[in-house]
Structure 1
Amino acid sequence: MRLLRSRWTVPATVLVWLVTRAALMAVYAQVVPGLDAGEVFADVDLYRRWSGQLRDGRVPGTDPMWQYPPGAAALFVAVGWVAESTRTGYTTVFVMFALGADLVVLLALIRLSRGGNRIGGALCWALAVPLLSLLTYARYDVFVTAPAVLALAATVRRPALAGAMLAVGALAKVWPAILLITARPLRGLRPMSIGFVTAAAVLGAVLTVSYADAWSGFSDNQADRGLQVESVAATPLVLARVADPAIVVEYRYGAMEFSHPVATSVAAVLPGSTLAGLGLLGWWWLFRGRRIDWTPTVGFDLALLAVGVAVVTSRVLSPQYLLWLLGLAAVCLTRRDTTQRAPALLIVVATVLTSAYFPWFYPDVIGTPGWPGAVLLAARNAVLVAATVIGLRRLLVGHRVVPQVRTATVGHRQPVGGTVGLGRTRTSG
């Protein structure tokens, strides 16, 4: 019976993916032709406009909404080229590309599940992603989640390839570089770092040559960003604004940000908080990671927590960022010995809350203040903080330090007649 269940888990998971994605594509077919999908697909229209400029060999660095490394340019141009070659709308081609990236993540998770014995991760991805509805296919982030998940899948046997995949993701949206922390310290870091540096150097050189001012605008526009209304740190201002509508929200750098002295001060502190949080995880990895029984599961758990720390301490927390966390949570769930089951469940809950407030109650947050949207957003952020805190605790408790046993040999003679002789081996722990 157990063998039979195992045999059918993978087909059942694939069927769930096919049914849910077919339903989403049916919604897309109904929504987009009538195109009041402007709120959801506004970013894709922006990618389309950028692609024309990118094909001329120049990144739109002067546009404050351009905040990507040059790897993003390759995708936007590829979508434009296929759309033009097939005489298909840019939005439709982008959705098809995103659907393909979604499928890549599913297949990587099934591969990690080893024939269905631990299919929970793939099933989590198949069921949880539709909770974001069409947002998954109307934003860029699934294209970054895919190489990150592929990299984690490759860490088990091919760390150099894992590093190369992380470089691909980092050239698109930086955060996959954090996942270098998933390597076994310090021995496993070398092959992964070689793959990362080699791929980043080669691809980075190609992109630099292909686009004039390839890195223009990326770091400057990111550094100038303020406190987005959806970020965790902005939650008190979101709630305060319901009582005091005079608190101003402005559209800047492609997002709604608070224009308030408190927001300015908080935004200035948050990058340091992110570095401090990641630094503490790095300390754990370097000094404690070498003393535990390191397995791929430890690296997977650490990956989810590292990105979780980066998300909850960020100045920006757009709805599509949940895809990053869902992908990494699903990777953790491919392992029976993961410490991150409760955080993974909380991330799914946060996804449900995200889909509830965006786009339905989003005007309560950015327009005329209202309690439904403010409460939903505050609850979502509280759940994400809880997932991170619980995950950190579970990591420390679940992967305990293994006592080190030192062996020393004193002398060369063997014990005689049951007495303790000079040749006895002495152990201490």
Structure 2
Amino acid sequence: MDIAGARRSPAGLLATWGLTRLLLLLFVLKVYVFPGPDVTSDVSVIYQGWYDVLRTGTFPQDDVTWQYPPAAALAILSPALLPFLPYATAFFVLAFLADLVVLSLLLYAGLRPGRSLRGAWVWVVGVPLLGPTVYARYDVMVTAVAVAALLAGARHPRVMGALVGFGAMLKVWPVLLLVAARKRGIWMSAAVTAAGLAALFAVTMPGSFAFLTFQADRGTEVESLGSLVFHVARQYGWDGQVLLNYGSVEFLGPWVNVVSTAALALTGVAFGWLLLWRLVATRFEAHTMADAAFVAVLLFTTTSRVISPQYMVWLIGLAAVCLCFRASRMTVPALLVLLASFVTVLEFPIYFANVVASDGLGVTLLFLRNGLLVAATVLAAVELWRATVSAPVDEPAPAHPAQATDEPSETSVTS
């Protein structure tokens, strides 16, 4: 083992993380101005407005932009932990700390025997590719919970379940981490945690589940896969509009409902594929849970009616966990996600005006970003299927059913 090399790698990784995160903080604190619209206004205006309402003991029931599960209130209220700082500054500091937590978890996992620091490098490099948006949304906090859950799954299944349940009450998508979970304790812990939090918020704070109605009424957001239909249609005289609607910039007009319904149907197909995979998968290794979670979130992100820039943080975090395992097949999909993240910061915020106008540059960037996501999704799904369902090409089929038993491996303790 090259001990000196192992030491140099974490040192370089930490130095890179420190420099890039300092730059992100300088951007969100407006020491330097990042090109494009001000991405920090969500914190200083929207989040702080919600904070003022939540402090009164109720959810913002009349605000259609509140589209989050009840535990999201904890993220919005979290700047109260730093009362000596203005709200926005405190939020940015907490986002920075959540980023540090993810790095620490990936470093700890990557330095264990049989693991790799590739995952930590994916996180260190991937996050700054998204620009200051990553610290101006609470998604980095949710991602920290998801990363902790996946890394806890091998030795502490009930801890994983509790973290997944908590994460699902923060922003729903972490429930997809359970797609490859086989231990009953994980599912029970997740269900008990989620149900307990839901009941607690329902009893103590009015309007806990108003977000379900608001979320159902969303349309086709201008950065989504389905939006490409209308970006192209505008070149040929489509007479719809692009307006701020339900908290995001969406297309409104003829055929929008059809495309939104098609997106939901495509998400249903993705769910069906995941269910089929779960039924026929036979080989579960140490990295399978992370790989499957990455594929699941890729499927649901890519087919969603909304692909906000901060959604890429989820994918970077899960890709990083996958690459902590040397045997993971998700290297190329992870690289495609990193490329998509770089294109994302170009389409938002730098050239977002071009995207809204559906001009040549804006449409090209969206086709490129969404094309990279589609490619990553398809490739990751194929690799997951090959690794867990298809017969290994380098091993002969067992001659007798009695010989088909699995040898003791990490499988039995990691799923």
Q: Which amino acid aligns with 1:359?
A: P
Q: Which amino acid aligns with 2:177?
A: L
For residues 234 and 369 of structure 1, the distance between their equivalents in structure 2, rounded to whole angstroms, comes to: 10
The residue number in structure 1 matching 2:247 is 254
Map 1:115-154; keep pairs closer than 5 Å. 115=112, 117-154=115-152
The residue number in structure 2 matching 1:2 is 2
For residues 165 and 317 of structure 1, the distance between their equivalents in structure 2, rounded to whole angstroms, comes to: 24
1:305-329: CA deviations, max 9, x gaps?
1001101111110011100111111
For residues 313 and 35 of structure 1, the distance between their equivalents in structure 2, rounded to whole angstroms, comes to: 29
Q: Which amino acid aligns with 1:21?
A: R
Q: Which amino acid aligns with 1:227?
A: T
Are the counterparts in 2 of residues 245 and 369 from structure 1 also a CA contact under 8 Å? no
The residue number in structure 2 matching 1:41 is 40
Are the counterparts in 1 of residues 240 and 254 from structure 2 also a CA contact under 8 Å? no
Residue 308 (str. 1) matches residue 298 (str. 2): yes
Q: Which amino acid aligns with 1:352?
A: F
The residue number in structure 1 matching 2:409 is none
For residues 91 and 173 of structure 2, the distance between their equivalents in structure 1, rounded to whole angstroms, comes to: 22
Between the two structures, name the one with larger relative contact order (CA 8 Å, sep ≥ 6).
Answer: 2
The residue number in structure 2 matching 1:345 is 335
Question: What is the TM-score of this pair, normalised by structure 2?
Answer: 0.90
1:79-117: CA deviations, max 9, x gaps?
2x235x31x211101101111111111111112213485
Q: Which amino acid aligns with 1:90?
A: Y
- CA positional deviation for 1:20: 1.1
Residue 29 (str. 1) matches residue 32 (str. 2): no
For residues 22 and 250 of structure 1, the distance between their equivalents in structure 2, rounded to whole angstroms, comes to: 34
- CA positional deviation for 1:36: 10
Match of 1:93 among 66, 90, 93: 90
Query: 1:351/1:272 Cα in 2 relative to 1: closer, same or farther (>3 Å)?
Result: same
1:160-203: CA deviations, max 9, x gaps?
1111111111001101011111313xxx2x01011101211222
The residue number in structure 2 matching 1:387 is 376
Question: How well do the aligned residues superpose, as a CA RMSD in angstroms?
Answer: 2.1
Residue 406 (str. 1) matches residue 401 (str. 2): yes
Q: Secondary structure at the match of 1:407?
A: helix
Match of 1:173 among 163, 171, 174: 171
Q: Which amino acid aligns with 1:225?
A: R
Q: Which amino acid aligns with 2:402?
A: T
Are the counterparts in 1 of residues 37 and 350 from structure 2 also a CA contact under 8 Å? no
For residues 20 and 35 of structure 1, the distance between their equivalents in structure 2, rounded to whole angstroms, comes to: 14
Q: Secondary structure at the match of 1:257?
A: strand
Worse overlay, 336-345 or 2-11 = 2-11
For residues 157 and 297 of structure 1, the distance between their equivalents in structure 2, rounded to whole angstroms, comes to: 13
Q: Which amino acid aligns with 1:330?
A: A
For residues 360 and 34 of structure 2, the distance between their equivalents in structure 1, rounded to whole angstroms, comes to: 29
For residues 279 and 305 of structure 1, the distance between their equivalents in structure 2, rounded to whole angstroms, comes to: 13
Residue 281 (str. 1) matches residue 286 (str. 2): no
Are the counterparts in 2 of residues 364 and 372 from structure 1 also a CA contact under 8 Å? yes
Match of 2:360 among 363, 371, 386: 371
For residues 164 and 358 of structure 1, the distance between their equivalents in structure 2, rounded to whole angstroms, comes to: 34
Match of 2:229 among 233, 236, 257: 236
Q: Which amino acid aligns with 2:315?
A: L
For residues 109 and 380 of structure 1, the distance between their equivalents in structure 2, rounded to whole angstroms, comes to: 26
Question: What is the TM-score of this pair, normalised by structure 1?
Answer: 0.87
For residues 124 and 151 of structure 1, the distance between their equivalents in structure 2, rounded to whole angstroms, comes to: 18
- CA positional deviation for 1:35: 11
The residue number in structure 2 matching 1:412 is none
Query: 1:324/1:315 Cα in 2 relative to 1: closer, same or farther (>3 Å)?
Result: same
Q: Which amino acid aligns with 1:314?
A: S
For residues 262 and 111 of structure 1, the distance between their equivalents in structure 2, rounded to whole angstroms, comes to: 50
Match of 1:161 among 159, 162, 184: 159
Query: 1:37/1:211 Cα in 2 relative to 1: closer, same or farther (>3 Å)?
Result: farther
Query: 1:51/1:30 Cα in 2 relative to 1: closer, same or farther (>3 Å)?
Result: closer
For residues 264 and 271 of structure 2, the distance between their equivalents in structure 1, rounded to whole angstroms, comes to: 11
1:255-278: CA deviations, max 9, x gaps?
111112222111123223212212
Query: 1:171/1:279 Cα in 2 relative to 1: closer, same or farther (>3 Å)?
Result: same
Q: Secondary structure at the match of 2:244?
A: strand
Residue 114 (str. 1) matches residue 111 (str. 2): yes
Q: Which amino acid aligns with 1:40?
A: V
Are the counterparts in 1 of residues 334 and 376 from structure 2 also a CA contact under 8 Å? yes
The residue number in structure 2 matching 1:414 is none
- CA positional deviation for 1:75: 1.9
Q: Secondary structure at the match of 1:249?
A: strand
Q: Secondary structure at the match of 1:40?
A: coil
For residues 206 and 132 of structure 1, the distance between their equivalents in structure 2, rounded to whole angstroms, comes to: 35
For residues 110 and 62 of structure 2, the distance between their equivalents in structure 1, rounded to whole angstroms, comes to: 45
Instruction: Give the unaligned 5+ runs of structure 1.
Output: 409-429
For residues 246 and 39 of structure 1, the distance between their equivalents in structure 2, rounded to whole angstroms, comes to: 29
Q: Which amino acid aligns with 1:105?
A: V
For residues 236 and 149 of structure 1, the distance between their equivalents in structure 2, rounded to whole angstroms, comes to: 34
For residues 104 and 121 of structure 1, the distance between their equivalents in structure 2, rounded to whole angstroms, comes to: 14
The residue number in structure 2 matching 1:219 is 212
Instruction: Give the unaligned 5+ runs of structure 2.
Output: 404-415
Match of 1:297 among 287, 290, 296: 287
- CA positional deviation for 1:401: 4.1
Task: Quote the sequence identity (%).
Answer: 36
For residues 4 and 22 of structure 1, the distance between their equivalents in structure 2, rounded to whole angstroms, comes to: 27
Are the counterparts in 2 of residues 230 and 318 from structure 1 also a CA contact under 8 Å? yes
For residues 402 and 125 of structure 2, the distance between their equivalents in structure 1, rounded to whole angstroms, comes to: 51
Q: Secondary structure at the match of 1:388?
A: helix
Q: Secondary structure at the match of 1:358?
A: helix
Whichever of the two has the greater Rg, that structure is 1
Query: 1:40/1:253 Cα in 2 relative to 1: closer, same or farther (>3 Å)?
Result: same
Are the counterparts in 1 of residues 218 and 246 from structure 2 also a CA contact under 8 Å? yes
Are the counterparts in 2 of residues 144 and 169 from structure 1 also a CA contact under 8 Å? yes
The residue number in structure 2 matching 1:413 is none
The residue number in structure 2 matching 1:423 is none
Q: Secondary structure at the match of 1:261?
A: coil
Query: 1:31/1:145 Cα in 2 relative to 1: closer, same or farther (>3 Å)?
Result: same
For residues 250 and 23 of structure 1, the distance between their equivalents in structure 2, rounded to whole angstroms, comes to: 32
